[in-house]
Structure 1
């Protein structure tokens, strides 16, 4: 399996942790269960030079740290890197200001330098932000990138986000064709983003011929792997892989030796733009409420930020899709398409730090939670293995009944979530109020 997270940011992007540097990223990727991590921000000259000095090529377009810094007591395989970045295109088209983010996968450092030179020749500033802002249409950027190297892969990022999403309510498009024109033929995959999941995207007819992938868009090491795309080889051949193998799997190219096995999803309700609303006034509306009450804040009269669920329902042209839910032997709920049998399934998880935070009744960054996280990942394996595969008795022995029960409930989808809206993350509640009250009362005896 190739467990990938290819959309991340470096310390050179705005609002990103200074810990987002290769050795720390690799350590956390190992903890998370990731074995192929995007470098992020290849367009930033200082970051690109730093990557080149710290990484060595182990296969075509695949890199590892020259000096592997082991996690104390850990038993994680070396983490591979693939050169990636995200580019922000802001421009006018059809009488509207358009804003769209694109994830770009690059086959080599040589190609990365060529792209950066092309962008600088166009007068773009690559130094001010790891995710550069270009006054360039998405269509023209794809043409430029493909002109540099046909192997480059371009994936529209978090396509439903109100700002910077392909279908975003504030500055997006009605279709791939409207956005990319004749370059749409080179868009083989789209990224769900944290506020949508594959099932929501399965309903969009023009995406029937595109792969649906998910990555974390992490701005700190702890957020790596909150969404991932897992690839598997179609046969029992050599498990080594190259840039071409990854790109072809994400494209679902005929003859590819690898394919998408499944994606790991954030609960979309937890995403910052799942429902419509106005954060300042505390207004949060479901699509049904928005349809009934309108798109204006009832408190202040300003326009609501329309959520992803609302936008999906406006876009869907076909009958509502039915999904198939299957519970495997480990109690994990897998979701599959009822119509498109070729669509990879997905699983929806709550990050382990959040599970521990609620189980231990401590803040997600508290020392108690961090210590328990380290204890579990050192002794039971990666976060992904713990959340998906470790037996309840193993988890209970290491961390206690409450943590084991929380993971079991999360695996089966037995949780409650207050949906996110207008830039505010949703709130996960694994244990209901009654369970918490019972625990509080037990503590009195």
Structure 2
């Protein structure tokens, strides 16, 4: 039976992360979200690794559990590699998944022998190349999964405009065939990645990169396996593109979607960038080239070639019939907050959220499958209307740029509504 996986999160030992990120809370929120497999995040941090070992029990499959919970965990860490390669400074984030505490400790020791500092940040910064990180991970486990994270982010994505590469091959060279998957990141969706032929033979996964509990599952991947198959099943799913679908944040909400300069309030879509260039017209400084423009630069396919279609809210491409589809969702807390004229962190919003998710089977199910009348019965017609508008794609969208998050709203207040029809996920 397919399961929902969030393969990229952080612990409270990463900078700018919530102090509430501990194992019991992760289990609670994974249930609220409808997540079956959750990454641990940050296993290289010595204090977090000790805490993980005290709270999680290996089940013999490469996954782990907490007490009697059905939620599975997989060991994960994001590493920031900053190094010189091919005459340029590279800054690349990679996600590493390993199948046991033993392999995690071996990997930790291998990095320490390279004088990596692991105790100051759950997402360590190392002067070790991405290729070397991949090689070191494979040395501790031949089934290690190394996934380039948020690949299009300008500053830390492997294909980013500021300090990335023009291809995976340029980065990983003769080891590139060991890269089985890439992560979309919040500022891109699978369709943008379908335009890059080098990614054709690789799985495209999506994860939350959560720094707080409510952000778990804002992006996720539905794996076409059973959690009982453990890490081996996950490895096989990614290596053989056995993915059912992915759950996506609206990419316009990502903070690097368009090109721009936030200090001057300058924002360009790709066509405007072509017309105006990448120098700020107000201050003369260089603009941060956004994900959309970077995709246009590296793509060797036009959007029209993909022949994108939407069936029941699942977006697919006729060009690649075996590619899994995806669905874009708005977080339930955000919908409730807007309906109640409040904030996603308020107690009254959280109360309604838990009422829905605890009674109707988790956030993902509420957003995609639960009858609107059932939602209205529990929390009233306004929230049900908001979920309905989200499913129909009746949204107000204001794209992000240069570190400024975009805005996706359910109800307009004078802005233009962008239509993006969405319906069921598991139908």
Give the structure-2-normalised TM-score.
0.94
- Measure, in 2, the Cα distance between the counterparts of 1:111 and 1:434: 55
Shift of 1:324: 3.3
Q: Any conservation in 1 of the 2:309–2:318 contact (CA below 8 Å)? A: no
Deviations 1:327-351 (A, max 9, x none): 43xxxx1100120001001000000
What is residue 181 of structure 1 aligned with on the other side?
Answer: 173
Q: Who is 2:157 aligned against? A: 165
- Supply the distance in 1 between the matched residues of 2:273 and 2:65 (Cα, whole angstroms): 48
C-alpha separation in 2, matches of 1:356 and 1:85: 32
Contact (CA 8 Å) 2:58, 2:100: kept in 1 or not?
no
Who is 1:348 aligned against?
328
Partner of 2:310 in structure 1? 326
Q: Is the 8 A contact 2:248 2:329 kept in 1?
A: yes
Q: CA deviation at 1:122?
A: 1.2
Deviations 1:284-339 (A, max 9, x none): 111111111111111211111111001001111123233433343xxxx1100120
Please identify runs of 4+ aligned residues in structure 1 that moved more than 6 A: none
User: Is 1:323–1:335's contact at 8 Å kept on the other side of the alignment?
Assistant: no
The CA RMSD measured in Å over matched residues stands at: 1.5
Once the two structures are superposed, residues 237-293 of structure 1 have per-residue CA deviations (whole angstroms, 9 ceiling, x without a partner) of x7622111011101117xxxxx21100000000111101111111111111111111
Matched, 1:15 2:16: yes
Structure 2 stretches lacking a partner, 5+ long: 416-427
Distance of 1:273 and 1:214 partners within structure 2: 16
Measure the CA separation in 1 of the matches of 2:408 and 2:156: 26
Aligned to 2:25: 24
Bigger Cα displacement from structure 2, 35-44 vs 412-421 = 412-421
Q: 1:420 is matched with which residue?
A: 400
Give the match's secondary structure for 1:229. strand
> Kindly tell me: are residues 152 and 202 of structure 1, through their superposed partners in 2, closer, same or farther at Cα, counting changes over 3 Å?
same
User: Is structure 2 residue 208 aligned with structure 1 residue 224?
Assistant: no
* Deviation, structure 1 residue 67: 6.2
| Mapped contact 1:59–1:241 kept (Cα < 8 A) | no
Query: Is the 2:206–2:220 Cα contact (8 Å) retained in structure 1?
Result: yes
Mapped pair 1:205 → 2:200? no
Q: 1:432 aligns with which of 403, 412, 423?
A: 412
| DSSP-derived class of the 1:415 partner | strand
Decide whether the 8 Å contact of 1:139 with 1:180 is kept in 2: yes
Alignment equivalent of 1:376, drawn from 331, 337, 356: 356
2:281 maps to which of 287, 298, 314 = 298
SS at match of 2:188: coil
Q: Distance in 2 between matches of 1:173 and 1:36?
A: 31
- Tell me, yes or no, if the aligned pair for 1:417 and 1:427 is still in contact at 8 Å: yes
Q: Deviation of residue 66 (structure 1)?
A: 2.6
* Residue in 2 that maps onto 1:440: none
Residue 2 (structure 1) aligned with residue 42 (structure 2)? no
The Cα offsets for residues 67-90 of structure 1, whole Å up to 9 and x where unpaired, read as 65xxxxxxxxx2110111111110
Report the Cα offset of residue 430 of structure 1: 1.3
Counterpart of 1:368 in 2: which secondary structure? helix
Q: TM-score scaled to structure 1, two decimals?
A: 0.90
Q: Which SS does the other structure have where 2:248 is aligned?
A: strand
TM-superposed CA distance for 1:434, in Å, is 5.9
CA contact (8 A) 1:327 1:412 kept: no
* Aligned counterpart for 2:366 among listed residues 364, 381, 386: 386
Structure-2 residue corresponding to 1:438: none
How do residues 212-291 of structure 1 correspond to structure 2 at under 5 angstroms?
212-233=204-225, 240-252=228-240, 259-291=242-274
User: 2:227, 2:233 within 8 Å by CA — same for their partners in 1?
Assistant: no
Do the aligned partners of residues 434 and 163 (structure 1) sit closer, same or farther apart at CA in structure 2, a change above 3 Å counting? closer
- Tell me, yes or no, if the aligned pair for 2:260 and 2:288 is still in contact at 8 Å: yes
Report the secondary structure of 1:354's partner residue: helix
Matches within 5 A, 1:309-324: 309-320=292-303, 321-324=305-308
Q: Does 1:34 align with 2:35?
A: yes
Residue equivalent to 1:88: 80
Equivalent residue of 2:228, what SS? Answer: coil
1:191 aligns with 2:174: no
Q: Deviations along 1:192-251, whole A, 9 cap, x unmatched?
A: 000000000000011111110000000001100000000123xxxx76221110111011
Partner Cα separation in structure 2 for residue 427 and residue 206 of structure 1 = 31
**Counterpart Cα distance in 2 of 1:241 and 1:350:** 31
Aligned partner of residue 224 in structure 2, secondary structure? strand
The runs of 5 or more residues in structure 1 that have no matched partner are: 69-77, 254-258, 436-445
